Amino acid sequence: MLGVKTDVLIVGAGPTGLTAANLLARSGASLRIIDKKSGPIEETRALVMHAKTLELLDRLGLADQAVEEGRRLGAAELLKDGKRAGKLSFFDDGQAERTPYPFALVYEQDRTERLLIRGLEEAGGGVEWGTELLSVAQSPGGVRATVRHASGSEETIEAGWVVGADGAGSPVRHSLGLSFEGGTYEETLFLADVEMESGLDPRQAHMDLTRKGFYAFFPMPGERRFRLVGSVPAELRGREEITAGDIQEVLDKHSGLETKITAAHWTSVYRVHRRMTERFRVGRIFLVGDAAHIHSPAGGQGMNTGIGDAYNLGWKLALVAEGHAREALLDSYEAERMPFARAILNGSDRGFSLQVTTNPVAQGPKLFAVPLLFRLVSLIPPIRRRAFWLISQLWTSYGDSPAVAGSEPVRGEPKAGDRAPYGFFEAGPNAGTSLFDLLRGPDHHLLLFEGRKPGPGLDALREELEALLDRYAATAVVHPVPAENEGLHERYGARTPILFLVRPDGHVAYRGEAADVVGLEAYLERLFVRRGTTERPPASPRRKRTAA
């Protein structure tokens, strides 16, 4: 077949690739997303969705459905040989004032994929199943990929960029000659989705630490359904399959909990890897999710980190593909996500190593120090809030990114690169509305805070700012925040009139004094294209933007 031009080719239709596809489809950029599988997965696989991920899905209009279909986890309980050692609660401590999703959500990977596929189809896109990548080669002007369809026919696709979302064995990464440094844990784990009789609270997760390893129980949607994850004892290691009867015997012997498995929907035995590649971008090819990094299951960070990668890259690719932003914006993807992925990998590695160890020397720290630490976290509200902040990925910040700029705030106040704080309007036309409700969709948003003692001329300043933003092809909407909204002013440290330009992923792109229009213009000029000009000619006809 002749080469077919598209702005972006996405290889892999798991949660990561589908997230990128949703963003691109909503922007009007042309894309193709392929996967060698015949359709979406049927196994549950990744299980937990954290607050940061739900905030991103909310910007696509998909979070409400996930929350409705999933099961909220209000707490995580630690047990030692079956006895309660501490509980980390999510719903208290004012978490609801910091995020609209003050919980972890049990929402299986297969459901996540179906949700994102529906979102993609509503935006006019679709997955090309049964399509395998054979080769990929890039030049300064684009990327040429050869694929094989289920029928056996081959096609050459010419794309502006390629996104490798094709998993740990990534053919895209292999085509770039990149290493995948790391290792494999010695411990073998079992995983099972079961129906189970027990005394466990279905509203919270449970983890039982024992001398033989650990056993985690995650409630799933449905009656008495749980996801079990645990250490495989020495007598069962080396087996490629494990039965529900085997798991029941393991729990009876090594866990302090009384449980009875009545049905098993899926069981698996696996080894856990920790790996990361040295580059997330090579020219016009990007790696996201498991193609770039894989983690231990500690904290349920893997799928969430992949979706974060895809969102970070997706909105940037959309603007560049439309000719609305300079290609320099794409440099920030690796600069932002590689340090984040490394921090997640290191943190989950330390936690997982301590959970699964059966080394006699490490038993003391594991069975004494971990429960003690967990109790301290449970009892001290500031530490409890901090723990939720870390696990939920709400701490994500890109302060060192080349794509953010602005004045330095007072310590503790949001700076450029930080996640824009959550809050509600108390007065004015948006009274009672969440600030996040205004920030949905694929656009930038400029928050104009009046300050606690607003002076004259703010209406004229707003008109000047709107005129400035209108000179650029990328859409940015101005939202005045009147002084009466004291709570929002407090959270943003807006003592005087100040600007916050919020990116499509909810992070602050620019922070500066409201009167410093020149500073804002200098930032926009560095990354964005003025209306009426393009960074490059479009690769394909544009579609009308679809509302999120």
pLDDT of residue 350: 65
Q: How far apart are CA 161 and CA 314, in angstroms?
A: 11
pLDDT of residue 545: 32
Do residues 142 and 9 make contact, with C-beta atoms less than 8 angstroms apart? Answer: no
Q: Is 257 domain-assigned?
A: yes
Long-range contacts of range 65-69, CB-CB < 8 Å, 24 or more positions apart?
A: 65/115, 66/105, 66/107, 66/111, 66/112, 66/115, 67/101, 67/105, 69/107, 69/111, 69/115, 69/221
pLDDT digit of tens for each residue in the chain (548 aa)? Answer: 457 899 999 999 999 999 999 999 999 999 999 999 999 988 778 889 999 999 999 999 999 999 999 999 888 888 888 888 877 776 655 677 889 999 899 999 999 999 999 999 999 999 999 999 999 999 988 999 999 999 999 999 999 999 999 999 999 999 999 999 988 877 788 889 999 999 898 889 998 988 777 899 999 888 899 999 888 888 888 787 889 999 999 999 888 788 999 999 889 888 878 899 999 999 999 999 999 999 877 667 889 999 999 999 999 999 999 999 999 999 999 999 999 999 888 877 666 666 656 666 566 666 777 777 777 777 787 878 888 888 889 999 999 999 999 988 878 899 999 999 999 999 988 999 999 999 998 999 999 999 988 777 788 999 999 999 999 999 999 999 999 999 999 999 999 999 999 999 999 999 999 999 999 999 999 999 999 875 554 444 333 333 33
For residue 422, give the DSSP letter.
P
| Pair of tokens at residue 377 | 């976290």
pLDDT of residue 285: 98
Q: Is 532 domain-assigned?
A: no
304-333: per-residue pLDDT in tens?
999 999 999 999 999 999 999 999 999 999
In sequence order, which residues have a C-beta less than 8 Å from that of residue 185 and are 6 or more positions away? 271, 272, 273, 274, 296, 352, 353, 356
CA atoms within 13 A on the CB side of 482: 8
- Verify that 49 and 191 share a domain, yes or no: no
Q: How far apart are CA 331 and CA 316, in angstroms?
A: 10
Q: Is 351 domain-assigned?
A: yes
pLDDT of residue 93: 57
Q: Is 96 domain-assigned?
A: yes
Among 396, 414, 447, which residue terminates a domain? 396
Pairing, β 225-231 against β 285-287: unpaired
- Verify that 302 and 153 share a domain, yes or no: yes
Q: Is 535 domain-assigned?
A: no
pLDDT of residue 423: 95
- Verify that 414 and 459 share a domain, yes or no: yes
Which value, in Å, is the radius of gyration of the alpha carbons in the chain?
A: 24
Among 294, 329, 356, which residue terminates a domain? 356
Burial class (CB in 10 A: 0-12, 13-18, 19+), 152: exposed
Helices 458-470 and 517-527 sit at what angle, rounded to 10 degrees?
10
Q: How far apart are CA 217 and CA 208, in angstroms?
A: 8
Burial class (CB in 10 A: 0-12, 13-18, 19+), 183: exposed
Q: Which one, of 310, 98, 77, 25, lies nearest residue 202 by Cα? A: 77
Q: Write down the pTM of the prediction.
A: 0.91
The total of structural domains in the chain comes to: 3
- Verify that 37 and 138 share a domain, yes or no: yes
Q: How many helices (H) and strands (E) does the chain have?
A: 15, 24
- Verify that 155 and 204 share a domain, yes or no: no
CATH number at residue 22: 3.50.50.60
Q: How far apart are CA 67 and CA 378, in angstroms?
A: 25
pLDDT of residue 546: 30
For residue 507, give the DSSP letter.
B
- Verify that 438 and 461 share a domain, yes or no: yes
Among 396, 423, 446, which residue terminates a domain? 396
Helix or strand run (H / E) with residue 56:
helix 51-59
- Verify that 342 and 369 share a domain, yes or no: no
- Verify that 142 and 50 share a domain, yes or no: yes
- Verify that 364 and 435 share a domain, yes or no: no
- Verify that 168 and 285 share a domain, yes or no: yes
pLDDT of residue 381: 78
CB atoms within 10 A of CB 154: 12
E strands within 107-149?
A: 127-129, 132-139, 142-148
CB atoms within 10 A of CB 475: 16
Q: Is 497 domain-assigned?
A: yes
Which ranges of 156-243 would DSSP assign to H, the alpha helix? 171-175
- What range defines the domain where residue 364 resides? 73-103+185-273+359-396
- Verify that 243 and 281 share a domain, yes or no: no
- Verify that 423 and 477 share a domain, yes or no: yes
CATH number at residue 456: 3.40.30.120
CATH number at residue 197: 3.30.9.10
pLDDT of residue 361: 57
Pairing, β 181-198 against β 71-73: unpaired
Do residues 142 and 4 make contact, with C-beta atoms less than 8 angstroms apart? Answer: no
Q: Is 539 domain-assigned?
A: no
For residue 540, give the DSSP letter.
S
Q: Supply angle C-alpha 423, 424, 429, rounded to 5.
A: 145
Does the CA dihedral 391-392-398-403 come out positive or negative? positive
223-249: per-residue pLDDT in tens?
899 999 888 888 888 787 889 999 999
Q: Is 165 domain-assigned?
A: yes
Q: How far apart are CA 494 and CA 499, in angstroms?
A: 9
pLDDT of residue 359: 62
Which ranges of 358-485 would DSSP assign to H, the alpha helix? 360-364, 370-379, 381-391, 435-438, 458-470
